[in-house]
Chain A
Amino acid sequence: MVGSRSSSAAWLKYVVLAVTLFLFIVPFILLLLNSFKANQDITANPLSLPGRLDLANYTNAFDKMNYIAAFTNSLIVTVASVLIIALCAAMTAHYFVRNNTKFNQYTFLLMVASMIIPFQAIMIPLVKVYGSLGMLNSKLSLIYMYLGFGSSLAVFIYHGFVKSVPAELEEAALIDGCTRRQTFFRIVFPVLAPTTATISILNVLWVWNDFLLPSLILTGPAQRTLPLSTYNFYGTYSVDYGPLMAGLVLTILPVIVVYLFAQKYIIRGVMQGSIK
């Protein structure tokens, strides 16, 4: 009896979970279904299945969003920011741990404390300062700002892990005639690879999807990243649902593709990023 009761309880659990999961992802399913339908079909019945795989909405959205340009901008900004943050933060964290002076300790504390400052408290002066320097509307400025905003958390996470790398390992390399730089690049940075993966995953999710900062910095249409171009597209064509749905699918697609392959690492990255 006990066995059958627990197995029906397990079934119930599955059903409840499956229904919850369905409710969680049904917005994406509806989005996908409607992205193939013509505008009048969507407004007539948003729950109906598309009659056929009509890609007209997609070609329409693809052109009007300047998809290739926006995707390229997003890719450049994300890849460059993530790599630069990882490299610079790892070096700084390593230097802080191995040269534990008062100055370095206070600098580290300042970086950690600064994480409580929300972006909204900085955005107005940021735009004024960089606007007066003529540094707006450039991807390079944006990447530089991501280094500034992202370095605190990255240094903080690296700091915890560098401490677990035995100093003897580096001392041995130094005695063998390696310079500090060689020791870092040949020994420390490779050892830190799992941490680099964690930090990079967190940063990719942040930078790729960020809206407010790029919307303030990248003022011209040619520089727009995917979220900016989606927002703009939605504002301009807000009556024609078909292409809008297709545009949203196109924006989501790259992350979903990456997620299918790297799902395990992304979830693990979020877990490890939170433990510190």
Chain B
Amino acid sequence: MIKEKGWNRLLTRLLFTGPTLFAFVTVMIVPFLYGIYLTFTNWDGISTTQSYVGFQNYGEVFRDAVFWKSFGLTLQYVFFSVVLINAVAFALAYVLTKGLKGQSIFRAGFFLPNLVGGIVLGFIWQFIFSNVLVYFGQQAGIPIFSASWLADPDKAFWSLVIVTVWQYAGYMMVIYVAGLMGVPNDILEAASIDGANGWTKLRRMVLPLMVPSFIVCIFLSLQRTFMVYDVNLALTKGGPFKSTEMVSMHVYGKAFLSRDYGVGQAEALVLFVLVAAITLIQVYFSKKLEVEA
């Protein structure tokens, strides 16, 4: 590369990296660091000053039973959602890479929910669960649908899981499709000639070769489900009786509704550390499963 000199070089640098880095630092890094500082203060959201309170907020986080209940609930929700999202997505992708006629139309259809924001999806399903299914259940005499799922704590939880799976399955399907198209056909044919049936080929060849796609999809679904907010807000608003209040909504409420900013931010950081640990452990261990064709 030909080197520029002096002023010109600095100018190029500023022009090429200046706007991005300035925005990155002021929007991501500064608030992140300032957020760590905030957890050691008792800021109430209104006053211009705040005083240093040491580790008091963190003590509060560990005593906040509602936070940990909400965190446990989120863990359950994340577990079921991630497993189901990836199972449905992989099954769809597997069927839709077999060269069926019209498979691209099917793919496009399954992807549809991803075009729409969580708020709108949540409202649509709120209508489905509390009107359509109730009507259907009463007319067809199916007791499980006769009362709104959103009014029952257990069923409301599963409603949230169902909507989440429905929302993300199509997105992950697209990633699995990309992975499956990269599985070389010749080794599958060679296996067929050697007498391997469809199930053996799937288990022994396709699944091991698909590990990179699984890593990406599980990482993405972990991140998105841990941080669920929009769908949670629009579908159940955390109800009934906070039985579906996921941890992101709890943090929001703590800070912006209870005006307990120090504790809210401390909870947000605890959440960040736990989620980062879980996702990195997942990536680290699944990397070891990778094979080459």
Interface positions of A (Cβ within 8 A of B): 10, 13-14, 17, 20-21, 24-25, 27-28, 30-31, 34, 42-43, 45-47, 84, 88-89, 91-92, 94-96, 98-99, 107, 110-111, 114, 116-129, 132, 144-145, 147-149, 151-152, 155, 167, 170-171, 174-175, 180-181, 184, 205, 208-212, 216, 227, 230-231, 234, 241, 244-245, 248, 251-252, 255-256, 259, 263-264, 266-267, 270-272, 274-275
Identify the closest chain B residue to A231 (Cβ): B119
CA–CA, A261 to B242, complex, Å? 42
Q: Smallest Cβ distance from B234 to chain A, in angstroms? A: 7
Identify the closest chain A residue to B280 (Cβ): A116
Collect the chain B residues with CB atoms within 8 Å of residue A264's CB. 104
Pick the residue among A128, A205, A234 that contacts B43 (CB under 8 A).
A128
The answer to whether A151 touches B38, judged by C-beta atoms less than 8 angstroms apart, is: no
CA–CA, A129 to B28, complex, Å? 12
| Dominant secondary structure at the A interface | helix
CA–CA, A184 to B4, complex, Å? 15
Collect the chain B residues with CB atoms within 8 Å of residue A89's CB. 20
9 A-B pairs with CB atoms under 8 Å apart are A14-B100, A17-B95, A21-B109, A30-B128, A116-B276, A123-B268, A129-B31, A211-B118, A234-B123
Which 10 residue pairs are nearest across A and B when measured between Cβ atoms? A148-B27, A209-B117, A125-B35, A95-B16, A271-B178, A121-B272, A148-B23, A125-B31, A92-B20, A147-B23
CA–CA, A174 to B12, complex, Å? 14
Pick the residue among B17, B31, B124, B234 that contacts A231 (CB under 8 A).
B234
Identify the closest chain A residue to B227 (Cβ): A118
CA–CA, A45 to B124, complex, Å? 16
The answer to whether B230 touches A45, judged by C-beta atoms less than 8 angstroms apart, is: no
Q: Smallest Cβ distance from B45 to chain A, in angstroms? A: 8
Q: Smallest Cβ distance from B251 to chain A, in angstroms? A: 6
The answer to whether residues A95 and B107 also contact, given A122-B35, A147-B23 and a CB cut-off of 8 A, is: no
The answer to whether B20 touches A255, judged by C-beta atoms less than 8 angstroms apart, is: no
Determine which residue in B136, B227, B279 has the highest number of CB atoms from chain A within 10 A of its CB, and name it: B227
The answer to whether B15 touches A91, judged by C-beta atoms less than 8 angstroms apart, is: yes
Question: How many B residues touch A, CB cutoff 8 Å?
Answer: 88
CA–CA, A259 to B269, complex, Å? 37
The answer to whether A148 touches B28, judged by C-beta atoms less than 8 angstroms apart, is: yes
The answer to whether residues A121 and B118 also contact, given A13-B95, A27-B124, A151-B23 and a CB cut-off of 8 A, is: no
Q: Smallest Cβ distance from A86 to chain B, in angstroms? A: 11
The answer to whether B116 touches A114, judged by C-beta atoms less than 8 angstroms apart, is: no
Determine which residue in A98, A175, A205 has the highest number of CB atoms from chain B within 10 A of its CB, and name it: A205
The answer to whether B109 touches A128, judged by C-beta atoms less than 8 angstroms apart, is: no
The answer to whether A95 touches B13, judged by C-beta atoms less than 8 angstroms apart, is: yes
Q: Mark B227-254, 1 if CB is under 8 A from A, else 0.
A: 1011001100000000000001001100
B32 sits at the interface (CB 8 A): yes
CA–CA, A124 to B216, complex, Å? 29
B2 sits at the interface (CB 8 A): yes
Collect the chain A residues with CB atoms within 8 Å of residue B81's CB. none
The answer to whether residues A227 and B117 also contact, given A30-B132, A92-B20, A114-B28 and a CB cut-off of 8 A, is: yes
The answer to whether residues A267 and B117 also contact, given A117-B272, A121-B35, A144-B27 and a CB cut-off of 8 A, is: no
The answer to whether A126 touches B178, judged by C-beta atoms less than 8 angstroms apart, is: no
The answer to whether A121 touches B116, judged by C-beta atoms less than 8 angstroms apart, is: no
The answer to whether B31 touches A126, judged by C-beta atoms less than 8 angstroms apart, is: yes
Identify the closest chain B residue to A264 (Cβ): B104
The answer to whether B20 touches A24, judged by C-beta atoms less than 8 angstroms apart, is: no
The answer to whether residues A230 and B120 also contact, given A24-B110, A180-B12 and a CB cut-off of 8 A, is: yes
The answer to whether A155 touches B20, judged by C-beta atoms less than 8 angstroms apart, is: yes
Pick the residue among B1, B251, B261 that contacts A167 (CB under 8 A).
B1
Collect the chain B residues with CB atoms within 8 Å of residue A10's CB. 100
CA–CA, A259 to B104, complex, Å? 13
Identify the closest chain A residue to B269 (Cβ): A121
CA–CA, A111 to B32, complex, Å? 13
The answer to whether residues A251 and B227 also contact, given A121-B35, A148-B24 and a CB cut-off of 8 A, is: no
Identify the closest chain B residue to A127 (Cβ): B256
Collect the chain A residues with CB atoms within 8 Å of residue B20's CB. 88-89, 91-92, 147, 151, 155
Given A120-B271, A275-B178, 4 more contacts at CB 8 Å? A34-B127, A125-B32, A208-B117, A230-B120
Identify the closest chain B residue to A273 (Cβ): B175
The answer to whether B27 touches A255, judged by C-beta atoms less than 8 angstroms apart, is: no
The answer to whether residues A118 and B124 also contact, given A88-B20, A171-B1 and a CB cut-off of 8 A, is: no
Collect the chain B residues with CB atoms within 8 Å of residue A25's CB. 109, 112
The answer to whether A124 touches B30, judged by C-beta atoms less than 8 angstroms apart, is: no
B248-292 contacts to A, CB under 8 A, are 248, 251-252, 255-256, 261, 264-265, 268-269, 271-272, 275-276, 279-280
Pick the residue among B96, B116, B255 that contacts A124 (CB under 8 A).
B255
